[in-house]
Amino acid sequence: MAGVSSKSMVLFSVLGLLVLLLCGTSEAQSNQDCCLSYTKVRLPRWALKGYTEQLSSEVCDIPAIIFHTNSGLKACVNPKEGWVKKHLLFLRSTHQFGIILEYVEDGESKTRPIDLLHLSPDFITGSYDRTCKLWDTASGEELRTLEGHKNVVYAIAFNNPYGDKIATGSFDKTCKLWSTETGECYHTFRGHSAEIVCLSFNLQSTLVATGSMDSTAKLWDIEKGEEVATLSGHSAEIIALSFNTIGDKIITGSFDHTVAVWDVCTGRKLHTLIGHRAEISSAQFNWDCSLIVTGSLDKTCMLWDAVTGTHLTTLTGHRDEVLDVCFDYTGQRVATASADGTARVYNAETKMCIAKLEGHGGEISKVCFNPKGNFILTASSDKTARLWDAATGYCLQILEGHTEEIFSCAFNYEGDTIITVEQFNRFDLDVC
C-alpha cells in the first residue's frame, strides 16, 4: 500500500506539472502580480529553477512562495507546506543562485537570479535579520542578541552540561561559537560548501559537529577552532546528527533515507541503518549509548541497537511526517514531534504511547525533554513554544512573542533557560 501511495504521489506531481505546461498559464497571475490562492499541485523539485517570496501586505493578501519552473512558468504555493520547505532547502543547496529577483527595466518586466549572500542588508532586513537572541524564561526578558551571520540561523545548541557556549549554524555555510555569558564570538567555522542545517556538541564539550546540505558532516575542535574530520558517505543532504554520551560515536541522518553510525576518532563509518521509506528528520542516542532513535517523513519513529545496528521496533501513531525525536536523559522515554500538530511520548521498553501532547495550531518541528525529564518543550509553526508535563501531557505554559513560526528550541543544562528560534531568525532566551 505504501508503494502504491508513493507512486500515486509521483504520478500526481508529474500530471500536475504537465497541466501547468500544457495550459501555458501561470499560477502566479493575479491582480498587482500577487498570488491570490495556492496551487494544489505538488511540483517535483527537478522542475524548479528558483523562487521568489511574497509577503502578506496591503497589496498582496497572502504570504506565498512563487516557484519558477524550468519551462518559464510560475506556481504559487503555501510556504507552510512541508514539501515546499524541503524544496526551498533543495534549491538553496543545489543552485548557486536560488532566488529570482523580479524588476522593471526600460518599462519591461525582467527577472534574474541572485545570491542571498550578496544582497545588501537593507534588502533582506524585512525577511532575515540573521540574529539570535537569548531570553529569560521566567520574566521573558531579552538577555542579549548574537549578531554576525550573513544568512538564516537555522540550528542552535548549548554545550550542555556546561552551558557556557552556544553554537549556531547558518545558511551562510558557517558555524559560529559564542559565549553564553558575554555574547562574544569565539570562532567561525568555515568549510562546508552548502547550508548548515544541524549541529551538536559532544558531551565533553571538546567538539562540535555540523551537518550540511552538501551531504557531509564535519567535526570541529572547540578550543583550537579547527576542523578535525569530514564525514563523507551519504548520497543526499544531512539534516540530523548526534553524539553518544561517551563521545566516541556520532550518528548522521540524511535525505537518502538512512542513518550512518561513525567512529569519531577515525571518521570511519561503522553501520548504516536502513529501514525508513522517506527522508530522515531526526536521530539520537540514548544516555547509556545502547539505543538509537530515528524519526522520518514516512510518519514513523524507529528504535535501533546502537552496537549492532539492528532494527528493534517501529513506533507508529502520527498522521503526518515525524519532524523530530528525542530520548529523555534516562533513555526510558521517547518523544516525537509531527507535522500533524501533536507530540507523543512513548515508553522505550514497552513501545507504548503513554502521552499525547495536543494544543498547537500548526506543525511541531522540535521537541526536547528538560534534563530532569519532567518537562517537554515543543516549537511550532503556530508561532509559539509550549512547556508540557511529560507524565500527563498537560500544557503548563505557552511561550508567546515570536512573530513567525518557531523551528528550533532547546533547554540549558539546569533546565531553567530555553532558547527558541523563529523562521526569520529571531533568537529568544527565556528563563523557567
pLDDT tens by residue, 142-154: 677 778 888 877 7
Instruction: State whether 65 and 181 are in the same domain.
Output: no
Q: Which of 269, 202, 208 minimizes the C-alpha distance to 235?
A: 269
Task: Decide if 120 is inside a domain.
Answer: no
pTM: predicted TM-score of the whole model, two decimal places = 0.65
pLDDT digits (tens, 9 = 90+) for 172-190: 999 999 988 888 999 999 9
User: How many distinct structural domains can be found in the chain?
Assistant: 2
Residue that is last in its domain, among 58, 81, 114: 114
pLDDT band per the 50, 70, 90 thresholds, residue 117? very low
pLDDT at site 343: 96
Q: Which of 145, 163, 239, 138 minimizes the C-alpha distance to 198?
A: 239
Instruction: State whether 84 and 178 are in the same domain.
Output: no
Write the CB contacts of 324 (distance below 8 Å, at least 6 apart in sequence): 281, 282, 295, 336, 337, 364, 365, 366, 367
Q: Where are the beta strands (DSSP E) in 47-173?
A: 48-54, 64-69, 74-77, 99-105, 108-114, 131-135, 142-147, 153-158, 165-170
Q: CA 358 → CA 68, 175, 399, distances in Å?
A: 37, 34, 15
On the question of pLDDT at 284 being above 50, the answer is yes
Residue 335 belongs to domain with CATH number? 2.130.10.10
Instruction: State whether 93 and 215 are in the same domain.
Output: no
Q: Spell out a b/e string for 187-215, using b for 16 or more CB atoms within 10 Å of the CB, else e.
A: bebebbebbbbbbbbbbebbbbbbbbbbb
Highest mean pLDDT among 85-89, 108-112, 388-392, 404-408: 388-392
Mean pLDDT of 88-105: 47
Instruction: State whether 246 and 345 are in the same domain.
Output: yes
Task: Decide if 266 is inside a domain.
Answer: yes
Looking at residue 297, the DSSP 8-state letter turns out to be T
pLDDT digits (tens, 9 = 90+) for 339-352: 999 999 999 989 99
pLDDT band per the 50, 70, 90 thresholds, residue 158? confident
Residue ranges making up the domain that contains 190: 127-431
Query: CA 28 to CA 68: how far, in whole Å?
Result: 10
Looking at residue 426, the DSSP 8-state letter turns out to be -
pLDDT at site 89: 64
Query: CA 409 to CA 138: how far, in whole Å?
Result: 16
Instruction: State whether 47 and 145 are in the same domain.
Output: no
Looking at residue 111, the DSSP 8-state letter turns out to be E
Mean pLDDT of 37-59: 73
Query: CA 250 to CA 264: how far, in whole Å?
Result: 6
On the question of pLDDT at 2 being above 60, the answer is no
Instruction: State whether 365 and 321 are in the same domain.
Output: yes
pLDDT at site 66: 87
pLDDT at site 270: 97
Mean predicted lDDT score pLDDT of the chain: 77
Do the beta carbons of residue 280 and residue 295 sit within 8 Å? yes
Instruction: State whether 157 and 300 are in the same domain.
Output: yes
Question: Which residue has better confidence, 74 or 43?
Answer: 74
On the question of pLDDT at 208 being above 70, the answer is yes
DSSP for 6-51, please give it.
Answer: HHHHHHHHHHHHHHHHHHT--TT--GGG---S-------GGGEEEE
pLDDT at site 318: 96
Instruction: State whether 32 and 164 are in the same domain.
Output: no
